[in-house]
Amino acid sequence: MKVKFTPIFALVGLLAILSGMPALSTGITNYAYAKYGTNTQTQANANECDTGSNCAITSPQTQGDGTANSPTNLQISKFNEEQGEPNSPSDPSIARLDFNVEVECPIGMEVVCPDPEDFMHLVRAFFPAPSPPVSIVPDEFSGQAIIDFLFDGQQTTYLISIGPPDNPHGLWLRDPLSLTGDCIQEGDFLLSGHLSDGDHKSCNVTYHYDYAAYVLVIKETICPTGFSCPSSRDNTMMVEASVGELVSVNPQTFSGSDSGTLVVIAFTGDIIPYQVTETPPPPPSGLVLVQSPSEDCRGDIDRIGEVLTCTFTNEYRVAPTL
């Protein structure tokens, strides 16, 4: 059975639930502190150089303890003019990274995939303390870019944080990302790499979208009068799906919710069997638990963008006396 398309206008409001762009600048510094125990360097200005002339790049350094040094001006030549020539001890090191982006979208979708320019990228460089300043041009951009790094010392470590656009209804951005070149994925939408003086490297990223369907899991609890029963959030819910052409289930395990938890099932094939289960806490003394999942708590997903509602009811009843 081939997949069928669900009209987008059926659930326009769902896009608001699916939205969620990671904060580019908030987590990247904390991540580097934790892994590298480093100082951070932010770029002050993306200065332009006239052809054949020198330019000054001003780079204030932010130390790991939060204090800022005075800006340091580095007189440098354009990268292409002196590429390959050895630097003297007083000259800054220069390296370049070609950051290339592609977007792959499933064939036959009624929804248009985001454009490469819809992806935001923030670049930072980190050194073991103590460290001299570094300049990054550009340090923030959309789509792809050629990034120049100017630094003292022989090597620098860079991090690129990715801010993807909202997932269109019926699509899901695959993570981990598809990478080639001189970069690796450190975490959710976070890339890293190393550059030495004179390097000209590349990092090639493919943002791959898959089909998506949705299961809204609602947890209800019924408790008899005079008793104290576990709440919905005390139950651990799980959504399982076929592993054949399944890409991901997000989230797969979560606490129950009276208002519902939206689960995204990303897949590449035609029909995906799924099932919602739970692990409840033991019933209180004197009560027995009766579990009642609704019809859509299990079945087959056969429509791209389909939204199903699973209501999982736990009814606590007074235990019969013998």
Tell whether 17 is covered by a domain. no
- Signed CA dihedral, 149, 150, 155, 161: sign only: negative
Beta bridge partners of 207: 103
Exposed (0-12), middle (13-18) or buried (19+): which is 42, by Cβ within 10 Å? buried
What pLDDT band is residue 127 in, cutting at 50, 70 and 90?
low
Rounded distance between C-alpha atoms, residue 234 and residue 255, angstroms: 7
Helix/strand number for the chain, H first, E second: 3, 25
Residue 258 lies in domain: 211-318
Q: What percent of the chain has pLDDT over 90?
A: 53
CB–CB of 127/149 below 8 Å?
no
> Over 80: is that where the pLDDT of 102 sits?
yes
Last residue of a domain, one of 209, 236, 263: 209
Task: Give the residue carrying structure tokens 């656009």.
Answer: 165
Residues 162, 67, single domain; the answer is: yes
Report whether 177 contacts 186 (CB < 8 A): no
Q: Quote the number of domains for the chain.
A: 2
User: How large is the average pLDDT for residues 16-24?
Assistant: 40
15 located within any domain: no
d(CA 112, CA 8): 12
Asked if 198 and 215 sit in the same domain, the reply is no
Q: What does the pLDDT look like over 281-309, one tens digit per residue?
A: 999 999 999 999 999 999 998 888 999 99
Residue 113 shares a structural domain with residue 167:
yes
Domain of residue 300, CATH code: 2.60.40
The pLDDT confidence band at residue 240, using thresholds 50, 70 and 90, is: very high
Q: Which residue, 5, 17, 320, 273, is CA-closest to 167?
A: 17
Give yes or no: residues 54 and 175 share one domain: yes
Both 282 and 203 in one domain: the answer is no
Same domain for 263 and 285? yes
Taking the C-alpha atoms of residue 204 and residue 63, their distance in angstroms, rounded to an integer, is 31
pLDDT, residue 167, reads 93
Among 164, 194, 209, identify where a domain stops: 209
Q: Are residues 282 and 245 in the same domain?
A: yes
Residue (of 122, 121, 152) closest to 135 by Cα position: 152
Does residue 9 lie within any of the structural domains? no
Reported confidence tier of residue 128, pLDDT bands at 50, 70, 90? low
Cα four-point dihedral sign 296, 301, 302, 307: positive
CB proximity list for 307: less than 8 A, separation 6 or greater: 6, 10, 11, 14, 213, 214, 215, 216
The answer to the question of residue 3 being in a domain is no
Token representation of residue 85? 């020539």
Residue 16 maps to a domain = no
d(CA 275, CA 273): 7
Same domain, 284 and 232: yes
More confident residue, 314 or 130: 314
User: Does the residue 74 lie in any domain?
Assistant: yes
Q: Dump pLDDT digits (tens) for 25-51.
A: 445 545 444 454 444 333 333 333 333
Same domain, yes or no: 133 and 274: no
Asked whether residue 186 falls in the same domain as residue 262, the answer is no
Tell me, yes or no, whether 122 and 188 share the same domain: yes
The answer on 142 and 31 residing in a single domain is: yes
| The amino acid at 307 | V
